[in-house]
Structure 1
Amino acid sequence: MTDTAAVDPRQGELTLSERFRWLTSLRYVLISFVTLFVIWEVGVRLFDVPTYLLPPPSLVWSEFSERWAYVLQHTWVTTGEIVAGYLAAVVVSIPMAIMIAYSRFIEQAFYPLIVFLQIVPKIAIAPLFIIWFGFGFTPKLLLVFLLSFFPIVVAAIAGFKSIDDEVMELARSTGAKGWTTFRKIQLPHAMPSIFTGLKVAAALSATAAVVAEFVASDKGLGYLLLRYNGDLETPMVFATIVVLSIVGLIVYYAVELLEMLVIPWHVSRRASAMDAGGV
């Protein structure tokens, strides 16, 4: 059949060393960032750029090192919003995708509504959440949820619907049906697409949290960005952006690590591991 990995996920399973060999490729990421910071530092000093326009990395680090504890307090707030909203999106979107993929009635009734909600700009409905739920945690969670929900649903639906009819016929011929077919064939086949949606949503979740904090908040990294920007403390603006980016990267790579552990048999994971091992 055309997709043997979907039938037997154990085939082509990675060894433990292969699973973590991709970490060696991170040295290139570090080299890229070090090069960027060196060019940035030299360029700012060489052209005498005002620090309120573009501070050098050394000044950003100096300012951050003096106020890191204060920034960390707000980092936990934003991280909580990101994780809670993202997990809520995962819990709701995957069962919704299953229902839409296997029920034509639910697809016709609810999928257009989901698309409509995605098209509506989230920044436009954020003030409504403030009116309805106040200035607390709930409106931030809802905005992260909405921005993370759609990519997971769309990718999961595509995964569940893309299974080859020949594979299903083969499964039926062996007597497999119902829950067994779903667990052994349909779900493993859809997992690569689901993880694609999960990674896209992970990348968007940090943006959603900051947008929510921009609208109305007295804490969080979005609040700090507005405050430092208003005070023309550009070094701290850059420091806050870096911290926010690190939080987003942690969420993204946590999903990537989970993908590597859950579907090591998939061709994309094996290719990544082999590329990392061959460098």
Structure 2
Amino acid sequence: MTELRAQAVDPPTIRPTLVRAASRRLGAGSATVGLPLLGVVVALTVWWLVTSVFQLIHPASLPPPQDVFRSLTEYWPLLLRSTGATTLSTVVGFLLSTVAGVLIGLALAASRRVERMFSPLLVAINAVPKIALGPLLVVSLGWGQKPILTMVFLLCFFPIVLSTVTGLTTTPADLAELARSLNASWWQAFRKVRFPAALPQIFVGLKVAMPLAAIGAVIGEFQAGEAGLGYQILQFNGVGDYPTSWAAIVLIAAMSIGLYFALVLVERLALPWVRATTSSR
């Protein structure tokens, strides 16, 4: 009886299936971590070969990675504080852009007349080179956080507006018909159908905007900063310390990667049904 119960609970045909499933999960997890690390190793190797072995690029343009790493360790406290300042500006500016971009997108999606009235203006604002506005922002807003946050906002709000409008105006026909058949009010249809259906598209705009927010923060620090990685790049370039400037650039890249994947994690936690209802390669 004990043997029959054991076979019923754990038949021999189940064990290979469980092993294969566990192996696939382990392989997927290893690939998620291992492949990005492999990419970093390849990039560092190419960087080292180009700058140290073959010396194809002048050190003033691109210092060897070992010099950049030496500067990173030497100025680590200063660069760490600067990374915190740039990260704060990036996140605050991104959140402000998200709130304003979604609200503007809601207004444009709610009325065809409003969309036709203001869409050309938004396109014109987005087309203006933002770096040209830097001196004007300093004159009007002064030094410090205000012009930096404004630069972040100007760079990354347009993709959020565009993705919000696209998501809200492309509700699947079957879902819209279901809401009408249930006699849902406008608010009920928006809250239960249109906005949830638009969230995947909105997150596309957010993921486009996040790296732009980091770019905007650095440009703002170039123009009006008193701290931050952009400010340190200007300072170290001014004294000819190019490895330390590149150390700051590396930290900007690392910060952008971290913020982007934090946003991807938020998307997966907020929209678990997207991965379950869409196919992947």
Aligned to 2:234: 226
Aligned pair partner of 1:142 in 125, 147, 150:
150
The Cα shift of 1:268 comes to: 8.6
Distance 1:145 1:254 in 2: 20
- Asked if residue 44 in structure 1 is aligned to residue 51 in structure 2, the reply is yes
Aligned to 1:185: 193
Q: 8 Å contact 2:148–2:224 — kept in the other structure? A: no
* Equivalent position amino acid for 1:178 in 2: W
Alignment gaps of 5+ in structure 2: 1-24
Q: 8 Å contact 1:260–1:269 — kept in the other structure? A: no
Cα 1:269–1:132 shift into 2, 3 Å:
farther
Aligned pair partner of 2:272 in 245, 264, 279:
264
Aligned to 2:94: 86
- Asked if residue 253 in structure 1 is aligned to residue 255 in structure 2, the reply is no
Alignment gaps of 5+ in structure 1: 1-17
Cα 1:267–1:126 shift into 2, 3 Å:
same
Aligned to 1:71: 79
The Cα shift of 1:116 comes to: 1.6
Distance 1:130 1:136 in 2: 9
Q: Which has the higher contact order (CA 8 A, sep 6+)?
A: 1
Cα 1:247–1:269 shift into 2, 3 Å:
farther
Aligned to 2:42: 35
Aligned to 2:123: 115
Identity %: 37
* Equivalent position amino acid for 2:37 in 1: L
Cα 1:22–1:83 shift into 2, 3 Å:
farther
RMSD (Å) for aligned C-alpha atoms: 2.2
1:165-180 correspondence runs (5 A): 165-180=173-188
* Equivalent position amino acid for 1:35 in 2: V
Name whichever of 163-172 and 184-193 sits farther off: 163-172
Structure (1 or 2) with the larger CA radius of gyration: 2
Aligned to 2:6: none
Q: 8 Å contact 1:203–1:252 — kept in the other structure? A: yes
* Equivalent position amino acid for 2:240 in 1: L
Q: 8 Å contact 2:152–2:216 — kept in the other structure? A: yes
Q: 8 Å contact 1:63–1:236 — kept in the other structure? A: yes
The Cα shift of 1:67 comes to: 0.6
CA offsets, 1:193-238, max 9 Å, x none? 1000000000101111111111232321111111222222121121
Aligned to 2:207: 199
Aligned to 2:67: 59
Cα 1:48–1:173 shift into 2, 3 Å:
closer
Q: What TM-score do you get using the length of structure 2 for normalisation?
A: 0.84
Cα 1:54–1:136 shift into 2, 3 Å:
closer
Distance 1:42 1:34 in 2: 12
The Cα shift of 1:22 comes to: 6.2
The Cα shift of 1:53 comes to: 4.0
Aligned residues: 255
* Equivalent position amino acid for 1:26 in 2: V
Name whichever of 150-159 and 160-169 sits farther off: 160-169
CA offsets, 1:156-181, max 9 Å, x none? 10111011344312221122222221
Q: 8 Å contact 1:86–1:202 — kept in the other structure? A: yes
Name whichever of 42-51 and 63-72 sits farther off: 42-51
Distance 1:180 1:23 in 2: 43
Q: 8 Å contact 1:263–1:269 — kept in the other structure? A: no
Displaced runs of 4 or more, over 6 A: none
Cα 1:48–1:169 shift into 2, 3 Å:
closer
